[in-house]
Amino acid sequence: MQRIAGTYGNSNRDDFLHAQKVDHTSDGLVIRWFDGSTTSIPLPDPKLKVTLASTPAAFPCNVCKHRGGGGVENSRVAAEFISEAVGGQGEIRYLDANRYDVSIASELTPPARTLALRDSPTNYVIGDGDDKKVFRSPVEPAGPLGAPQLTTSSGSSMPRPSS
């Protein structure tokens, strides 16, 4: 019997920052970029993930790679991993609350749909392992959710991601 798994959540884009040096101070982080400039980020809380009120101007200029992330993508990857491990032949469906961009769409295995409630935010990641920090963008309010998004059974009328 074919089984169908569905994953739902919010995607984001993870942009990985490439820095020359990251210093931890009592107030936060001081990031030294390869052009010699620095960015200081106050971190009153030592949590792994921090939501910034605004993105530092240096972040977009120092991205070395990006990939899709967020709960919905992580669950899809996990479901695929488990399905392969147990020899499953089922279908894994992906429903994203966010309007994901091309960089995320290129990593997805169909069928993938979006409710397009808001654009996928970009998170910035620096470091790895125990030294990793994730700087999250604020989540925008949701756009309207109406019948076209909720009543289809095939998903065919759901909005496609914009490019």
Partner 1 sequence: MNIPKDEEPVIAILDERRRTGSEIIFVLTPSLPAQFLKTTVLPDTNVLIGAFDEL
Residues that bind partner 1 (CB under 8 A): 6-10, 47-49, 70-72, 74-75, 95, 97, 115, 117, 139, 142, 145, 150
Nearer of residues 53 and 147 to partner 1, judged by Cβ: 147
Q: Which is nearer to partner 1, 11 or 62 (CB)?
A: 11
> Nearer Cβ to partner 1, position 87 or 144?
144
Shortest distance, position 139 Cβ to partner 1, whole Å? 6
Q: ω before 138 within 30° of 0 (cis)? A: no
Give me the residue label for tokens 């101070």.
25
CB of 7 to partner 1, least distance (A): 7
In terms of CB distance, is 31 or 97 closer to partner 1? Answer: 97
Angle at 29 between CA 23 and CA 34, to 5 degrees: 60
Least distance from partner 1 to the Cβ atom of residue 76, Å: 9
Q: Report residue 55 as tokens.
A: 């993105």
Cα-Cα end-to-end distance for the chain:
36
Inter-residue contact 15 to 122 (CB < 8 Å)? yes
The conformation of residue 1, written as its DSSP 8-state character, comes to -
Least separation in angstroms between residue 97's CB and partner 1 is: 6
